[in-house]
Structure 1
Amino acid sequence: MTLDATSPGNVTRRSILIAAAFLLGSCITAFASPCQFESQGEGRVAAIVDARNVRLDDGRDIRLTGIEATTSTRQALTSQLVGRDVALRGTDDTPDRYGRQAALVFIGEADTSVQEMLLAQGDALVSAEIADKDCAAALMSSEAEARRQKKGNWADPSAIKNAESPDDILAGIGRFMVVEGKVLSVRQAGAVTYLNFGRNWTRGFAATISRRTLPAFESAGIALKSLENRRIRVRGWVEGTTGPRIDVLRVGQVELLGANEPNGVRP
């Protein structure tokens, strides 16, 4: 006996196939990288300009957004990217004043960006410039896993600077650093809020937050005064003369740490 298209058996089979297809699609979506922004084109990597920039064979210079370099970044890029076909994704393909296009870079049809791979290997640091929360969280997660496993840059105990040793931080002036410590006081002076990590305000390490950045912290549910006596991790470019500081321009530059986290590593 042959079942027609509307028979209960065929309807059941079609329902099962549709449900399976829906579940498969949901799984693919669930496991896809959250950094899948709009396509900004494709190309082949001809050269590594420096630890943050690559040049395509059509002459375009691409800046790898979302990361800052470590001593091993350039070598990692050279081994992974030269001669490879890549896809570019991002929120804005407008070149910067140096003619560089900022983008997340994907090798071939890969779902994971080169940035995430570098972070997972300990060959880069999260820059906190990605505004998209899900993508930013994915990058942070990749870095955190490398930190837990002491891979690459994180094999060096001095990769995270101690806020109680301002001289060590000041020695890296002009460099991008990750600093951890306890906020001893939160003070406002004019349009700037200071997160002070030392009792000597002129020589101790401080993170500074301008008034125009406050709404972003408020939107994230973080009251700056609540950071007093909390352990936090701050990342950014070190500035200063007598005492080192990092200017916090984005909420992602600040991470709250649990009281029992050794060296800031989350369990």
Structure 2
Amino acid sequence: MTRSLILFATAALVLASHIAAFASPCQFESQGAGRVAAVVDARTVRLDDDREVRLIGIEPTAATRQALASRLIGRDVRLRGIDDTPDRYGRQSALVFLGEDEAPIQALLLAQGEAIASAEILDKDCAAALMSSEAGARREKKGNWADPSAIKNAESPDDILAGIGRFMVVEGKVLSVRQAGAMTYLNFGRNWTRGFAVTISKRIWPAFESAGVALKSLENRNIRVRGWVEGNAGPRIDVHRVGQIELLGANEPTGVRP
């Protein structure tokens, strides 16, 4: 029993250290408050005033919906975000804060491996804090990251293609960087038509330049990329935000968690 209590306390301290990163980064404009009446789907909750709220900053895993239900139903929450304009489904997009917590529920889900960071939040400090929460769960192989196949290996394009239409995290070495018209291709295989590739539109090149990342410099680098898998003969992920790509250590093996 003593050992169990020690392990529990250690886990609680580790989780607290991840959540502590949110002392200030994600404090956007207030979008109101309410009580959670129901969980609509894996990233949408309904408040008692019938507003539906989409949790920004995360993509769900198999555990996300149950985690939201157990933590939020019947609880008072505060909403923060950049824009409270409803999306085409009538949902308000926001970070959801439980009670007086300084960290959004998104951070807790990520720290427990119960969600994946989506890289959709453009605020650099907030985005970095969310990614840090996920990184802790990856290191500790929590939740989703306990499954060795949670991160796909870019050298196995068939495994990635099997997940077409899904949000995935892929690691691998960029073998070549090619520009064709208004598109840059990061190729991970020798066979360009069948290997995994990342595509980056010309319209977001300036965002990479502002971040100090020259796309050509990614050649022969190990990277982690996240996004929706598309493609036919060969799988690809279209990158729309700089945060979808992470540089890995020079000697870090690919296809595994750091």
Q: Does the alignment reach a TM-score above 0.5?
A: yes
* Cα shift readout 1:97-151 (whole Å, capped 9, x = no counterpart): 1111100000010011100000000000000010111000000000000000000
1:75 is aligned to 2:66? yes
Count of aligned residue pairs for this structure pair: 238
Shift of 1:262: 4.5
**Structure 1 residues 148 and 78: CA distance shift in structure 2, 3 A:** same
Instruction: Give the Cα–Cα distance (whole angstroms) in 2 for the partners of residues 80 and 30 of structure 1.
Output: 20
- Name 1:234's counterpart in structure 2: 225
Task: Specify which of 59, 66, 78 is matched with residue 57 of structure 2.
Answer: 66
Three-state SS of the structure 1 residue aligned to 2:37 is strand
Which residue of structure 1 lines up, in the alignment, with residue 245 of structure 2? 254
1:163-242 aligned at under 5 Å gives the runs 163-242=154-233
Alpha-carbon distance in 2 for matches of 1:173, 1:112: 33
Given residue 81 of structure 1, which amino acid in structure 2 is its aligned partner? L
Deviation of 1:31 (Å): 6.8
Match of 1:105 among 91, 96, 108: 96
Q: 1:226 to 1:44 in 2, by over 3 A?
A: same
For structure 1, the 5+ residue unaligned runs are: 1-28
Contact 1:232–1:254 (CA under 8 A) maintained in structure 2: yes
Letter matched to residue 156 of structure 1:
D
2:106 is aligned, of 115, 131, 134, to 115
Deviation at 1:60, TM superposition (A): 0.5
Q: What letter is aligned with 1:221?
A: G
Alpha-carbon distance in structure 2 between the residues aligned to 1:262 and 1:163: 12
User: Residues of 2 paired with 1:262 and 1:183: CA distance?
Assistant: 13
Deviation track 1:218-259 (CA, whole Å, cap 9, x = no partner) reads 100000000000000000000000000000000000000002
Q: 1:144·1:265 contact (CA, 8 Å) conserved in 2?
A: no
Partners of 2:177 and 2:205 in 1: how far apart?
14
CA distance in 1 between partners of 2:167 and 2:252 (Å)? 23
Quick one: distance in 1 between partners of 2:42 and 2:223?
28
1:218 to 1:156, Cα distance in 2 relative to 1, 3 A: same
Structure 1 segment 15-30 matched on structure 2, within 5 A? none
CA distance in 2, matches of 1:262, 1:189: 29
> Deviation digits for residues 162-200 of structure 1, max 9, x if unmatched?
000000000000000000000000001111100000000
Q: Which runs of no fewer than 5 residues in structure 2 stay unpaired?
A: 1-19
- C-alpha RMSD of matched pairs (Å): 1.3
- Report the CA distance between 1:79 and its aligned residue: 0.5
Matched, 1:52 2:43: yes
Superposition deviation, residue 38 in structure 1: 1.0
Asked if structure 2 preserves the Cα contact closer than 8 Å seen for 1:37 and 1:89, the reply is: yes
CA separation of 1:31 and 1:155: change in aligned 2, threshold 3 A: closer
Relative to structure 1, the CA distance from residue 33 to residue 265 in structure 2 (aligned partners, 3 Å threshold; closer, same or farther) is farther
Say which structure, 1 or 2, has more relative contact order (CA 8 Å, 6+ apart): 2
Distance 1:158 1:30 in 2: 28
Contact 1:183/1:196 (8 A) holds in 2: yes
SS in structure 2 at match of 1:49: strand
Cα distance in 2 for residues equivalent to 1:116 and 1:58? 25
- State the 1:260 CA deviation: 2.8
Task: Give the stretch that moved more between structures: 31-40 or 114-123.
Answer: 31-40
Identity, % of aligned positions: 81
